[in-house]
Amino acid sequence: MISAKLYILQRLTALIMAPLVLGHLVLMIYAVQGGLSASEILGRTQGSAFWAIFYALFVFAVSVHAAIGVRTVLFEWLKIRGSVLELLSWGLGLGLLVMGLYSVYAVTA
């Protein structure tokens, strides 16, 4: 059971994530190949509004997108219904959001 609203929300967040995933991959490969140390990386991300916005947006899109996807799995495979379904899926989304934003804060603040 998925409403048109959730469907649209999942497609829109996918749209946001597509370029961000590519940017993230390029960044990871660049950081590893250049042999940057943790402190060098933090030196570049801390205080950077660009990376804060980049990853905060990423975390937001992932939380919504993943919660809706897992919601369908819980519904179809585990036959979870009603308020338990809402609680589990939005709980997951909220968990991802809080942990993600905490990490973004830690490396960019």
Partner 1 sequence: MFVEPNTIKVKIKRGSNQSSFTQEFEVPEQDNQTVLDLVTYVQEYIDPTVSYRFACRVGMCGSCGMMVNGEPRWTCRTHVKKVLGSSKAIEVGPLGNLPVIKDLVVDMDPFFDKWIAVGGVHHPSKNRHQSIEKIDESSAERMFANEAVECINCGVCYAACDVVSANNDYFGPAALNRAWSLVNDVKTENKEAILDAVSGNSGCHNCHSQQNCSNYCPNELNPSASIASLKRKVFASKIKNLLGSAK
27, 42, 52, 75: which one contacts partner 1 (CB under 8 A)? 75
Q: Does 77 bind partner 1 (CB under 8 A)?
A: yes
The encoded tokens of residue 83 equal: 């308020």
Stretch that binds partner 1, among 24-32, 39-47, 70-78, 93-101 (CB under 8 A): 70-78
Q: Does 76 bind partner 1 (CB under 8 A)?
A: yes
Residue 35, CB-side half-sphere exposure with 13 Å CA sphere: 0
| Sign (positive or negative) of CA dihedral 92, 97, 102, 107 | positive
Sketch the per residue contact string, 23 through 62, with partner 1: x for CB under 8 A, - otherwise.
----------------------------------------
Cβ proximity of 66 and 96 under 8 Å: yes
State which residue, 59 or 67, has the beta carbon closest to partner 1: 67
Q: Does 106 bind partner 1 (CB under 8 A)?
A: no
**Which residues contact partner 1 (rule: CB under 8 A)?**
1-8, 11, 75-77
